[in-house]
Amino acid sequence: MKKTLFLTLALLTATGRAEHDVVIYGGTCAAVIAGVQAKKMGKSVIIVSPDKHLGGLSSGGLGFTDTGNKSVIGGLSRDFYHRIYQHYEKPESWVQQKKSEYGGKGQGTPAVDGENRTMWIFEPHAAEAVFEDYVKEFGLEVVRDEWLDREKGVKKDGARITSITTLSGKTYSGKMFIDTTYEGDLLAAAGADYHVGREANSVYGEKWNGVQVGVLHHRHHFGNMQLSPYVIPGDASSGVLPHVSTEPPGEYGAGDKKVQAYCFRMCLTNDPANRISFPKPEGYDPKRYELLLRVFEKGWRETFEKFDPIPNHKTDTNNHGPFSTDNIGKNWDYPDASYERRKEIIKDHEQYQQGWLYFIANDPRVPKDVQDEMKTWGLPKDEFTDNGNWSHQLYIREARRLIGQYVMTELELTKQKPTPDSVGMGSYTIDSHNIQRYITPEGHVQNEGDIGVSTKGPYEIAYGSLVPKKGQADNLLVPVCVSSTHIAFGSIRMEPVFMILGQSAATAAVMAIDKAIAVQDVDYTALKAQLLKDGQILHYTGPVGEAHSSGISPKSMPGIVVDDDNAKFTGDWKQSGAAKSYIGQGYHHDNNTKDGQCSARFETKLPKAGRYQVKLHSPPNNNRATNAKVTITHSSGEKPLTVNLRASKDGIHDLGTFDFNDQATVTITNEGTDGYVVIDAVQWVESK
């Protein structure tokens, strides 16, 4: 086999058909980083981009970076964020705002080596400039607006791709190919196996993958609002409101072909000098937002909670709440759709989202406080100047996913199963946006599919998830549509991780060229050595916190500590790790449901009977409940308490001192609460 591959490579070179060592299809952040790595390793490379603008979502509006634990972001991915830092060190980068006024948020995070500084929050045009700087600095050859002929544009010699041809008729030959698209168009056209939609939980022994009917983890559900889905509330004969499906959602845990919702990560501004009022989009129909009015009528007022601030009085605005910028259920056919159909889907998302903004800012039925605030926002004049100041990149959260040599699942991400041959790391919460909006048996509207589950620290990503099965495409690597289940991809799909995997894929491609072997046969020991040499982080032994967090070991604390991982839960609790510090590997919260259905029981056997001080640990925030119901079971009976979870700045709540036998129990419920019930641990400290 090796001899055949070598002869094939030699023939390509001799005939002049191998125009480049590495051909990269796609214009995402992974494309640029893969191109840089291949050039640094001495190979010729071309980026064939269907996009005019490089960087994908990183330059398309996602400037409030979803990172997880930043210490596992290394190599060229980290270099990108270092260059962002350097950009904002220049006074001329601060046009609408003083740097001191912004306050350095997201700026100056030390690198792993303590030298290079980074910034994780940025404007779209700043990110695009960094990607273009890479092109110039490394002499990357880039062709733009070139779309793969998906029907007949991939030529193969056995299991090897020899060339790709675009719709314009241009052909690009190479020794190795890398698919960096969000859609996985090259991998599909090359004949590699892939999956669209959710696998049933039973396929890989997962918990969070399949249909999640009845599991309300996030604020992005309607919860207990009990809203009618009908044009005339309560009257099914009046018809169903727009954006509500009449189809059954499916059975819990079952697989389907449905895809989590897309949206645009909007860049908005409240600077009057740089602001354009929200335009009324073509085809605007206020009926599309009738359900939002019913949400407002219930008192919901969280419209602006994901207007995350980026420099120069701008935002990265994401979906938030039960009826927001996600165009739920309108993208299921996107992954395999024709280019023409995809354009229709993208246009519908643009009309829906621009209409959402226009509706809130102008419809007289919108609550005045919400409308007045929305009118202070608009599109920035200095972003996306060739696209009507609107992002050029729809957030394709998920499309095709390779079924490759190794499939990443939630079991690897949550450390229930070891990961072989790490080529990079992720750590962001296992996250899926809603997939469908349906009608419950009780006649209410509900969302389904939104999940947020902690990975309990960083996890490794297998090299086998970047390559197809042997014999399908032996010179193709896939660092974006990686081989993973729907729910595992929910964490892997972060832009810093795509850059990490882009670098690793290019490294493997170069090594496969040098050895004249299939990508599936690359020696991992050699690959690992090169990746580490180039600054990649492949393993992690530090604290298990997420984001800016660090987990505190219960064993390091005095007394007896029962972490939330060891509590007994009733009801639908959500795991998280977004606070600045916590105990163990995260904490639980009730998602602010206030329904009395959530309870948590902390039990322990004390080393001896005696008097103990009892402390409840709950990461602080001003959205916490002021009236959490807590019951302490001690030697003389039960002591009910009402605890203000906002009262402690350090998140430690003294519940009192009691006499205990050797058994001790603390129970917390969310009955009648006025905010989030957040529980991290209960601690018993012997009173001297």
Coil vs helix vs strand at 639? strand
For 571-590, give the secondary structure using H, E and C.
CCCEEECCCCEEECCCEEEC
* Position 661 in a domain: yes
Q: How far apart are CA 616 and CA 618, in angstroms?
A: 6
Which CATH number does the domain housing residue 572 bear? 2.60.120.260
3-class state of residue 135 by DSSP? helix
Answer whether residue 277 is part of any domain: no
The C-alpha atoms of residue 179 and residue 501 are separated, in whole angstroms, by 12
Please say whether the beta carbons of 682 and 615 come within 8 A.
yes
Across all residues in the chain, what is the average pLDDT? 92
Q: pLDDT tens across 350-381, in order?
A: 999 999 999 999 999 999 999 999 999 999 99
Residue by residue, DSSP assigns 349-367 as: HHHHHHHHHHHHHH-TTS-
**Domain assignment of residue 293, yes or no:** no
| Dihedral sign computed on CA atoms, order 586, 592, 598, 601 | positive
Q: What percent of the chain has pLDDT over 90?
A: 81
The partner residues of 64 in beta bridges, in order of sequence, read 121
In a domain, 622, yes or no: yes
Q: Is residue 626 part of a domain?
A: yes
Using the predicted structure, report yes or no on whether residue 574 has a pLDDT greater than 90.
no
Which domain range does residue 675 map to?
550-686
For residue 647, tell me if it sits in a domain. yes
Q: How far is CA 521 from CA 513, 516, 527, in A?
A: 11, 10, 11
* pLDDT at 595 exceeding the cut of 90: no
**For the chain, how many structural domains are there in total?**
1
pLDDT single digits (tens) 639-653: 999 999 999 888 999
- Dihedral over alpha carbons 177, 182, 188, 189 (to 10 degrees): -60
What pTM, to 2 d.p., does this model score?
A: 0.84
Give residue 153's Cα distance to chain centre.
32
Gap between the Cα atoms of 175 and 510, Å rounded: 9
Q: Quick check: is 363 in a domain?
A: no
What pLDDT score was predicted for residue 12? Answer: 45
| Three-class DSSP category at 98 | coil
Q: Residue 97: pLDDT band by 50, 70, 90 thresholds? A: very high
Q: What integer is the mean pLDDT of 272-300? A: 97
CA atoms within a 13 Å half-sphere pointing along the CA-CB vector of 14: 6
Answer whether residue 215 is part of any domain: no
Beta partners for 195? 401
